[in-house]
Chains A and B, each alone.
Chain A
């Protein structure tokens, strides 16, 4: 339990701090930190049960959906929330490890890690696209229901 509190706290601070590095609007920093924290918690919980790729996918979908909701609630572009939310999930450490192995002539380990980093990036991209599609579907359904009921 302590481990989760520790992870939640650090991911919140790390995401909000990245908001500062990326010059996010001041009043959105805490929201960005919150989105990052939710994404990271979903990731570490699922990573226990399954592989890193599905865990990343699920976490990114959650980040995407929350970002879309926040974007409409606070009238700001989605990217402000999704960037902060995705930063903890991004396989930066893996990309770095892969590059280091390449430079140290350990090609098989490097290729393995590079492939995994690519898979994880793909999972993040798919998650973002999926959450966008979900958002469009949700937005369209009430509209079509409304037109149906008004035409009756």
Chain B
């Protein structure tokens, strides 16, 4: 049995922590991260593990003699591909298809995997979704093009500013400021009619809608700490976007 050997045991712990870290950083749900880590540990010979996952860190312990391990998580994005890959690795471990070493190698590979879409494709997607949201929220087709432009440039701005300063709040605030100014400018130039519809569509790629929902869901599932911290993160983003737009409004109205 693997778990009885101390070096093997710490390797299994490292594998579980790595899997949990990738999932949590990529936007996996709290309970699913806990569940996956427990299952992997059990399949690799450590049936009595405990994991405690919050959005900012993972605690993992395997038994009473071994001290609990901790990992700090500071960056969180949404990367569904990584969630799905780790899930596949976990399932294969459960079926006994992967050894501990193979699983570790695979996980390291997944962690370093770049996004499967180029930045240009992502920007196009953000622009397209902005245009579509403007129509879905009751805007006319004359507002489609301005929302496309504002949304694309706004998303480019959030990526650029985030690389520049590494403060998410500032990047979101500036990006929404850019969106607001562009919307005003385009209306002024006679492109588009309803400013509000254009702005709402354009900020959708930035809006923390998924975070809000996940926060409420975590609260309902009894993950109180996770729910509150996700709620705080969502509130900060919403606040940044609202402020950015409000500054534009107070400048031009």
Contacts and interface: CB of A to CB of B under 8 A. Distances in A.
Given A79-B28, A83-B78, A100-B249, A25 B84 contact: yes
Interface in B166-208: 199-200, 203-205, 207-208
A104 B136 contact: no
A95 B135 contact: no
A59 interface: no
A55 interface: no
B33 to A, nearest CB: 11
A137 interface: no
A87 B210 contact: yes
B132 interface: yes
Interface string A9-44: 011011001111111111000000000000010000
Contacts of A128: 213, 217
A77 B90 CA distance: 12
Contacts of B28: 79
Contact of A23 (B81, B136, B217): B81
Nearest to B219: A125
B84 A104 contact: no
Interface in A32-90: 40, 76-77, 79-80, 83, 86-88, 90
A99 B132 contact: no
B138 to A, nearest CB: 10
Contacts of A23: 78-82, 115-117
B80 A96 contact: no
A6 B249 contact: no
Given A40-B136, A129-B217, A17 B128 contact: yes
A126 B126 CA distance: 28
A104 B245 CA distance: 10
Nearest to B80: A24
A119 to B, nearest CB: 10
B84 A76 contact: yes
B81 A96 contact: no
A17 B27 contact: no
A32 B238 CA distance: 25
A129 to B, nearest CB: 6
A21 B137 contact: no
B3 interface: no
Interface in A103-121: 103-104, 117-118, 121
Contacts of A7: 135-136
B251 to A, nearest CB: 13
Nearest to B204: A92
Given A90-B210, A100-B249, A20 B125 contact: yes
Nearest to A110: B242
A40 B132 CA distance: 12
Contacts of B87: 76-77
A88 to B, nearest CB: 6
Given A14-B133, A23-B117, 7 more contacts: A10-B136, A18-B125, A23-B79, A25-B84, A80-B80, A91-B212, A103-B243
Interface of A: 6-7, 10-11, 13-14, 17-26, 40, 76-77, 79-80, 83, 86-88, 90-93, 95-100, 102-104, 117-118, 121-122, 124-126, 128-129
Interface of B: 27-29, 32, 78-84, 87, 115-117, 121-122, 125-126, 128-129, 131-133, 135-137, 155, 199-200, 203-205, 207-210, 212-213, 215-217, 220-221, 238-239, 241-243, 245-246, 249-250
- Give the 7 A-B CB pairs with smallest separation, nearest first: A99-B242, A90-B209, A92-B207, A103-B246, A20-B125, A17-B129, A14-B132
13 contacts: A17-B125, A25-B116, A77-B80, A77-B83, A79-B29, A80-B84, A87-B209, A90-B207, A92-B207, A93-B207, A99-B242, A100-B242, A128-B217
